[in-house]
Amino acid sequence: MEGKVDVAVIGAGIYGLMTAHKLLLRGVRNVAVFERLFIGSGQSSRNAGGIRAQFANGATIRFMVEAERQWKCISRELGYNILFTRDGYLFSCFSDEDEGLYALHRKIQNENGVNSVWLEPGQVAELVPGINRDGLVGANFSSQDGILHHDAVISGLMFEIRRNGGKIFEYTPVERVERGASGGFLVHTRSGVFSASYVVNAAAACAPGIASQLGTTLPIKPVRRELIATEPMRHFMKPMLVSLKYGITIHQSLRGEFIGHTSANEPENFDLRAGFGFMVQYAKDITKLLPFMKNVRIVRQWAGTYDMTPDNSPVLGPAPGMPNFINAAGSSGHGFMMSPAVGSMIADYIGTGRIDDLMKPFRLERFETGELLTELVLSNRGVL
């Protein structure tokens, strides 16, 4: 099998699929997506589906506000309901010392278009009945954040891309990428060689391997993270609950299952087996935060891979000196929520050659110039 495509996208995760979808919307018809396993087989179908703009640096917040704006329209765009509900993200605060930091976060967020507010313990307990109020100082809360169904997004994109004539090759790992004639590339896959004018490297934790073949170094490391689901309960907890004290995120899914994770120490590898240490740590942490959870049973635990960068923010945009080789990787655990904006901005770049102002801060060069997108609190405490 051989062929010539305009854009070769490596990786059929959320970045790859969103980019392909937005390219097809722009009228770039000859798009091929190459996937090592099956569509959405990586963290795109292993995450919790949280969407938030409550970050702590301006560039990320502005990017996420744009992404949330686009998420609202995705269901209609795909003709497929992605079950996006905006019930908010609640960052609970259990220490007086953190209160100032929370205020600072709110200030940055409010300046950049996020409606986050401070809630008193009584208001927190209204939103999260049963929360351990021992030491609870309050919470940051933004009602514009929410939860969607990641599997629905992946399915919807798959059908829409196929409908619009895009090609997705599953079980077709890319073995080698090299430069071809006239600024293009040759993509060697297991089932043949494709020549492409543009290559989008959306291979998450495998992206550095692709980039290094073209002489670019991506500072991305894989880290295992795990999630747990419980048996279903009637729905009573609206927002996604985050606790920095316990390093926990938890929400109740549409089916009523509680889904969450804790910041247990995890190894830097691609191991996707579930670990018992994590299960125990989660049980200890969650029963402290939400004491009623001890009467709830775990039914499933699974692992995924985070592709971490030094400043916990993705690398987006063309590689230095190679305008036709575009990286979209290293999302560090909040890639899914950024994806519609990532897809449309990369498609715009391929169409017009112009890099969106919102995407500029995420360029790879920032690791050399020192303009890092460091978060104040969240990344240090394992909540990403």
| Site residues for another protein per CB under 8 A | 38-39, 41, 45, 75-76, 80-83, 85, 129-130, 149, 151-152, 154-156, 158-159, 162, 230-236, 254-256, 272-277, 279-280, 282-284, 286-287, 290-302
Q: How far is the CB of 117 from another protein (least distance, A)?
A: 22
Distance CA 124, CA 155 (A): 35
- Dihedral angle at the C-alpha atoms of 39, 229, 251, 81, nearest 10 degrees? 40
Query: Which CB sits closer to another protein, 77 or 371?
Result: 77
Structure tokens at 110: 């409010």
Query: Which CB sits closer to another protein, 75 or 115?
Result: 75
Query: Which CB sits closer to another protein, 273 or 354?
Result: 273
Q: How far is the CB of 91 from another protein (least distance, A)?
A: 20
Contact indicator for 170, 39 with CB cutoff of 8 Å = yes
Q: How far is the CB of 277 from another protein (least distance, A)?
A: 6
Q: How far is the CB of 288 from another protein (least distance, A)?
A: 8
Distance CA 343, CA 78 (A): 14
Q: How far is the CB of 380 from another protein (least distance, A)?
A: 24
The 3-state DSSP class for residue 232 equals coil
Contact indicator for 335, 15 with CB cutoff of 8 Å = yes
Tell me how far CA of residue 228 lies from CA of 28, 88, 110, 237, 286, in angstroms. 40, 21, 33, 17, 11
- What is the separation, in whole angstroms, between the first and last Cα of the chain? 41
Q: How far is the CB of 169 from another protein (least distance, A)?
A: 15
Which residue in 51, 67, 27 sits closest to 342, CA to CA? Answer: 67
Strands (E), 333-383: none
Query: Which CB sits closer to another protein, 277 or 320?
Result: 277
Query: Which CB sits closer to another protein, 277 or 351?
Result: 277
What is the Cα gyration radius of the chain? 21
Which sign, positive or negative, has the C-alpha torsion 33, 37, 39, 42?
Answer: negative
Query: Which CB sits closer to another protein, 4 or 72?
Result: 72
Q: How far is the CB of 81 from another protein (least distance, A)?
A: 4
Query: Which CB sits closer to another protein, 20 or 364?
Result: 20
Q: How far is the CB of 329 from another protein (least distance, A)?
A: 23
Query: Which CB sits closer to another protein, 68 or 375?
Result: 68
DSSP state of 125: H
The residue type of 146 is: G
Q: How far is the CB of 70 from another protein (least distance, A)?
A: 15
Query: Which CB sits closer to another protein, 130 or 183?
Result: 130
What's the gap between Cα 70 and its chain centre? 15
The residue type of 381 is: R
Cα angle for residues 226, 232, 238 (degrees, 5° grid): 80
Tell me how far CA of residue 38 lies from CA of 139, 158, 340, in angstroms. 40, 11, 21
